Amino acid sequence: MAVSHQIDDALLEQKIAAVVQQILRREVDGLFAEKIAAFVKENERRSRELSLMERMVRVEEELKSLREIEAARFDAAEKRFETMEKRFETMEKRFEVIDQRFEALQREMAARFEAVGQRFEAMDQRFEAMEQRFEAMDQRFVAMDKRFLTLQWTMGIGFSFLTLLMGLLKFWP
């Protein structure tokens, strides 16, 4: 009986071990399934977080790239403005030179007009002197006309008187 009891104990142990094994297997499968589900859930959450982080990194990189492009554009625009400013400065200098030339021309023209004006004044003075001379000559001619007229009348009266005298002398004996 001791052998039978040992066999029964061994058989019982085997059955208990099989039942424990079944229970353990179920529990382990359940726990394992829960743990895997939790692990998958956690990994999905992390995956989403990683995806979001990757997106954020990409967005930040794009923003950085856009900032660099904008900075390059601003630099290019600033260079263009500097170039335009230099052009305006050059044009301003040219205008200043042109203004100086115009001022010099105006001074020169004013001096020439003044010289021409002085010449006209001198010519006016000459014409006035000539006009005075002509007036003096006109007065001389008027005086000469009066003398000639007086001389003509005197000669006419004298010839008439001589003719009358000769006519009277012919008739008087």
Q: What percent of the chain has pLDDT over 70?
A: 97
- What integer pLDDT is reported at residue 2 of this predicted model? 65
Q: Rounded distance, CA 98 to CA 104, Å?
A: 10
Q: What is the pLDDT of residues 81-123, one digit of tens each?
A: 899 999 989 999 998 999 999 899 999 999 998 999 999 899 9
Q: Rounded distance, CA 65 to CA 107, Å?
A: 62
> In the numeric block, which tokens belong to residue 34?
């829960």
Report pTM: 0.39
Question: 10-residue block means of pLDDT along the chain (173 residues)?
Answer: 72 85 84 84 85 88 91 91 91 91 91 90 91 91 91 93 90 74
